[in-house]
């Protein structure tokens, strides 16, 4: 490989060419004159050319010196531009973030999070993808997505930071015998039919836990594709189902055909987190995103019962 001067050596060459004086060039570069002179000589030796004619009264660049100084200025300027661009990206959380979130959570949380995030990081481009939690975890793990916001992940190889926990409510048809109640005991739904989202959704696990605890049974012939679809089925008496807190607040305002009940003796909740690939070099960006999400979780009242950050996924998370 041909000799290649270092960036620092090129800075010395440019300084001598600009000032035509080794002493002043050394002062501008914050080094001693002997240090600068030795480094310029090493460049000349490595390239096999004389860069500057030195006399007792002046320093004059040779044609080779002029050419190298000109190219070095362009190179150093381009490198400075690159560093400034990288610095700007760091200040805007990397410049771009691809975030995955489930439809049962994202629309009811991100509408509060994104405006403030944009105000704080105006140059950050955010792309949102909705899918089931399992699909989103896989996409984060393989790099298709940068991070996720939603139910805490169960997949190995992901780190996460909890931002809050949602209360889970039971939805019953308006004509159901329990609809006039504000709360319900588990024994009161024994034998009832439960509707659930399909595989890959954490809420399916919550429904399974409820069925096991109460003696209710899940309609295995139906897998819901959305909470909206399940809500409509509950409204016509096809069964009961679970609805998380933020969805319930937004979608059940003035709802007449479905009533929401709390549980007196079942306290399962849905932990939500910001998560990313374990060992990612952008972890500080995701921690900053989690900081912003913490503020919104507090504002929305779901931050009070967070677990500590384990840094790695755990199993059977509700």
The HSE-up count of residue 210 (CA atoms within 13 Å, CB side) is: 37
Q: Does one domain contain both 160 and 276?
A: yes
Q: Does one domain contain both 64 and 201?
A: no
Strand duo 258-263 + 183-184: pairing: parallel
CATH assignment at residue 237: 3.40.190.10
* pLDDT at position 84 over 80: no
Average pLDDT, the chain: 90
Q: Does one domain contain both 212 and 256?
A: yes
What pLDDT is recorded for position 318? 34
Q: Does one domain contain both 70 and 121?
A: no
The rounded distance, in Å, linking the Cα atoms of 128 and 14 is: 47
Q: Does one domain contain both 214 and 235?
A: yes
* pLDDT at position 67 over 80: yes
The rounded distance, in Å, linking the Cα atoms of 157 and 155 is: 6
Count structural domains, the chain: 3
Q: Does one domain contain both 79 and 148?
A: no
Q: Cβ distance 94 to 285 under 8 Å?
A: yes
Q: Does one domain contain both 208 and 172?
A: yes
315 found inside a domain: no
The model's pLDDT over 249-294, given as tens digits with 9 standing for 90+, comes to: 999 876 679 999 999 999 999 999 999 999 888 898 999 999 999 9
Domain assignment of residue 211, given as a range: 165-263
What pLDDT is recorded for position 256? 79
Q: Does one domain contain both 176 and 258?
A: yes
Other CB atoms within a 10 A radius of the CB of residue 253 amount to 7
CB < 8 Å & 24+ apart, contacts of 107-114: 107/250, 108/246, 108/247, 108/249, 108/250, 109/149, 109/246, 109/272, 109/293, 109/296, 109/300, 110/149, 112/296, 112/299, 112/300, 113/149, 113/292, 113/293, 113/296
The model's pLDDT over 180-231, given as tens digits with 9 standing for 90+, comes to: 999 999 999 999 999 999 888 989 999 999 999 999 999 988 888 899 999 9
Question: Is the torsion defined by CA of 249, 262, 212, 161 positive or negative?
Answer: positive
Question: Is the torsion defined by CA of 252, 258, 262, 268 positive or negative?
Answer: negative
Nearest Cα neighbor of 291 from 89, 121, 105 is 121
Average the pLDDT over 41-66 and give the result. Answer: 93
Other CB atoms within a 10 A radius of the CB of residue 30 amount to 6
Q: Does one domain contain both 74 and 15?
A: yes
200 found inside a domain: yes
The model's pLDDT over 91-126, given as tens digits with 9 standing for 90+, comes to: 778 788 999 999 999 999 999 999 999 999 998 999
Q: Does one domain contain both 172 and 257?
A: yes
Task: From 53, 72, 89, give the residue that closes a domain.
Answer: 89
* pLDDT at position 315 over 70: no
1 found inside a domain: no
Q: Cβ distance 151 to 317 under 8 Å?
A: yes
Start-to-end C-alpha separation, the chain: 59
- Considering only 35-49, 95-109, 295-309, which range has the smallest mean pLDDT? 295-309
Q: Does one domain contain both 279 and 154?
A: yes
What pLDDT is recorded for position 313? 29
Q: Does one domain contain both 159 and 243?
A: no
DSSP bridge pairs for 217: 193
**Between 84 and 80, the higher pLDDT residue:** 80
The rounded distance, in Å, linking the Cα atoms of 276 and 271 is: 16
What pLDDT is recorded for position 87? 74
Q: What is the pTM of this model?
A: 0.72
Task: From 89, 113, 132, give the residue that closes a domain.
Answer: 89
What pLDDT is recorded for position 309? 41
Nearest Cα neighbor of 268 from 188, 179, 205 is 205
- Considering only 75-79, 134-138, 150-154, 170-174, which range has the smallest mean pLDDT? 75-79
């Amino acid at each position: 490989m041909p000799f290649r001067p270092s960036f620092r050596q090129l800075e010395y060459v440019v300084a001598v060419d600009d000032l035509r004086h080794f002493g002043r060039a050394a002062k501008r570069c914050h080094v001693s004159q002997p240090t600068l002179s030795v480094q310029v000589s090493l460049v000349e030796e490595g390239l096999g050319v004389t860069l500057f004619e030195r006399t007792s009264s002046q320093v004059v660049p040779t044609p080779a010196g002029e050419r190298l100084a000109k190219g070095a200025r362009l190179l150093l300027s381009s490198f400075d531009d690159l560093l400034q661009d990288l610095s700007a990206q760091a200040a805007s959380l990397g410049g771009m973030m691809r975030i995955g979130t489930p439809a049962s959570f994202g629309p009811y949380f991100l509408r509060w999070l994104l405006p403030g995030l944009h105000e704080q990081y105006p140059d950050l481009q955010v792309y949102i993808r909705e899918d089931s939690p399992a699909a989103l975890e896989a996409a984060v793990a393989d790099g298709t997505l940068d991070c996720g916001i939603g139910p805490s992940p169960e997949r190995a190889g992901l780190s996460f930071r909890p931002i809050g926990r949602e209360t889970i409510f039971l939805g019953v048809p308006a004509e159901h015998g329990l609809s006039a109640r504000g709360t319900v005991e588990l024994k009161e739904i024994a034998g009832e039919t439960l509707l659930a989202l399909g595989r890959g959704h954490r809420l399916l696990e919550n429904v399974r836990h409820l069925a096991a605890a109460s003696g209710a049974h899940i309609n295995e012939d139906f897998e819901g594709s959305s909470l909206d679809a399940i809500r409509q089925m509950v409204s016509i008496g096809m069964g009961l189902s679970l609805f998380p807190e933020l969805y319930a607040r937004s979608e059940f305002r003035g709802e007449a055909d479905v009533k929401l009940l709390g549980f007196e003796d079942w306290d399962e909740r849905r932990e939500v987190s910001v998560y990313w690939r374990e060992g990612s070099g952008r972890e500080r960006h995701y921690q900053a995103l989690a900081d912003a999400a913490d503020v919104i979780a507090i504002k929305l009242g779901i931050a009070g019962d967070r677990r500590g950050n384990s840094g790695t996924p755990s199993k059977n998370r509700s």
